[in-house]
Chain A
Amino acid sequence: MKSTIITSLLAIAMTAGLQAQSVLRIRGSDTLGAKLVPQWAEGFKKQGGSVSFDIAAEGSTTAFTNLSAGTAEIGMSSRKVKDDERTFAKTKGVFLQEYNVAWDMIAVVVNKSNPVQTLTKKQVAGIFTGAIKDWSEVGGTPGPISVYTRNTSSGTYKDWQTLAMGGKDYASSSQKMAGNEQIAQEVASNKNGIGYVGYAYIKAKGIKVAEVDGHAPSVESVKKYPYSRPTFLYVNGKPDGNIKAFIDFVQSPAGDKISEVVGFIPVSQVK
Chain B
Amino acid sequence: MSTEKSVSREIESDLIKPPGFLGLRMDRQKVIRAFFSTCATVTIITLVLIMWSLISEGPIKVGKAFGFLPYPTLKGGFLDTYRHELSVYRKAGLEFCDHVQKPLTEHEELLSRLKRALGADLNTVSKPSRDRRDAALLAKTHVEEKAALQREALEEALEKTEPATPPEKIAELRKSVTDATHIAVATETISDIFNKEEKEKLIAELNSLQPDQEDFPPFIQSLLAESAKKDAEAKEKFAAFVSAVDEFEAASEPVVEVHDSMKELALATKEKAVQQHMAEDARTQLLEAAATAKTPEQKAAFEKDAAETDTTEIDYKSAIEPIVAKLPDYEKLVQPYIEAIKKASAALPAKPETKEAHDLMEHFRKDFPKHLKTVEASVPRMKEWSWEKPVPMTQALTSFLFGGDWITNSSWQDFYGVLPLLTGSLVIALTALVIALPFSVGAAIYVNQFASLREQEIVKPLIEFIQAIPSVVLGFIGISVLGDLIKSTSGIPWLSWIPGFPVQERLNMFNAGVLLALMAIPTMFSLAEDAINNVPRAFSEASEALGATKLQTVFRVIVPASISGILAAMLLGLGRIVGETMVVLLVAGNRIAIPDFSDGIGTVFQPAHTLTGIIAQELGEVSRGSSHWQALFMVGILLFIISLFINWASRLVVKKFQLPKI
Contacts and interface: CB of A to CB of B under 8 A. Distances in A.
Interface string B110-136: 011001100110010000001000100
Nearest to A141: B134
A65 B623 contact: yes
Nearest to B588: A175
Given A168-B412, A176-B590, A186-B507, 4 more contacts: A58-B620, A87-B286, A133-B109, A152-B409
B285 A65 contact: no
B590 A177 contact: yes
B589 interface: yes
B119 A142 contact: yes
Given A131-B108, A134-B119, A189-B484, A87 B278 contact: yes
Interface in B473-496: 483-484, 487
A252 interface: no
Nearest to B288: A91
Nearest to A143: B504
Interface string B591-609: 1110000000000000101
Interface string B273-286: 00100100110011
B620 A175 contact: no
A172 to B, nearest CB: 4
Contacts of B409: 152-153, 157-158, 161
Nearest to B591: A175
Contacts, number: 128
Contacts of A130: 108
A62 B621 contact: yes
Interface in A172-187: 172-178, 186
A161 B411 contact: yes
Contact of B116 (A62, A88, A91, A137): A137
Contacts of B435: none
Interface in A241-264: none
A172 B108 contact: no
Contact of B618 (A132, A151, A172, A177): A151
B624 A87 contact: no
Interface in A129-156: 130-134, 136-137, 142, 144, 146, 151-153
A172 B282 contact: no
Contact of B622 (A61, A158, A178, A192): A61
A263 to B, nearest CB: 16
Interface in B302-345: 302, 305
A146 B622 contact: no
Nearest to A167: B411
B289 interface: yes
A266 interface: no
A88 B412 contact: no
A84 B115 contact: no
B411 A162 contact: yes
Contacts of A137: 112, 115-116, 119
Nearest to B360: A134
B506 A58 contact: no
Contacts of A158: 409
Interface in B403-462: 405, 407-412, 420
A248 to B, nearest CB: 30
Contact of A152 (B111, B356, B618): B618
A15 to B, nearest CB: 32
Given A91-B288, A158-B409, A146 B134 contact: no
Interface string A41-67: 000000000000000001101100100
Given A151-B590, A161-B411, A189-B484, A175 B621 contact: no
A100 interface: no
Contact of A83 (B120, B278, B302, B483): B278
Nearest to B278: A84
B289 A173 contact: no
B285 A88 contact: yes
Main secondary structure on B side of the interface with A? helix
B621 A172 contact: no
A87 B285 contact: yes
Nearest to B290: A91
A25 B163 CA distance: 47
Nearest to A86: B282
Interface of A: 58-59, 61-62, 65, 83-85, 87-88, 90-91, 113, 115, 117, 130-134, 136-137, 142, 144, 146, 151-153, 157-158, 161-162, 167-169, 172-178, 186, 189-190, 192
A152 B507 CA distance: 19
Contacts of B589: 175
Nearest to A61: B621
Contact of B119 (A136, A169, A186, A190): A136
A127 to B, nearest CB: 11
Given A84-B278, A136-B115, A142-B123, A169 B407 contact: yes
B112 A172 contact: no
Contacts of B592: 172, 176
Interface in B494-522: 504-507
18 contacts: A83-B278, A85-B623, A87-B278, A87-B285, A91-B289, A115-B138, A136-B120, A142-B116, A146-B504, A152-B409, A152-B617, A153-B620, A161-B411, A167-B412, A175-B505, A175-B507, A176-B609, A189-B487
B158 interface: no
A113 B112 CA distance: 23
B137 interface: yes
Contacts of A59: 620-621
Contacts of A177: 590
Contact of A91 (B286, B591, B621): B286
Contact of A176 (B275, B405, B487, B591): B591
Nearest to A142: B119
A40 to B, nearest CB: 23
Contacts of A173: 591, 593
B607 A172 contact: no
A155 to B, nearest CB: 10
A88 B626 CA distance: 12
Nearest to A83: B278
Contacts of B617: 151-153, 176, 178
A194 to B, nearest CB: 13
Contacts of B111: 131
Nearest to A182: B479
B208 to A, nearest CB: 22
Given A137-B115, A175-B590, A177-B590, A153 B621 contact: yes
Contacts of A146: 504-505
Given A137-B115, A186-B507, A189-B506, A174 B591 contact: yes
A229 B138 CA distance: 31
B621 A87 contact: no
A32 to B, nearest CB: 15
A165 B224 CA distance: 32
A131 B112 contact: yes
A58 to B, nearest CB: 6
Contacts of B116: 133-134, 136-137, 142
Nearest to B107: A131
Contacts of A61: 621-623
B393 to A, nearest CB: 25
Contact of B621 (A58, A144, A189, A192): A58
A169 B414 CA distance: 10
Contacts of B405: 172
Contacts of A169: 407, 410-412
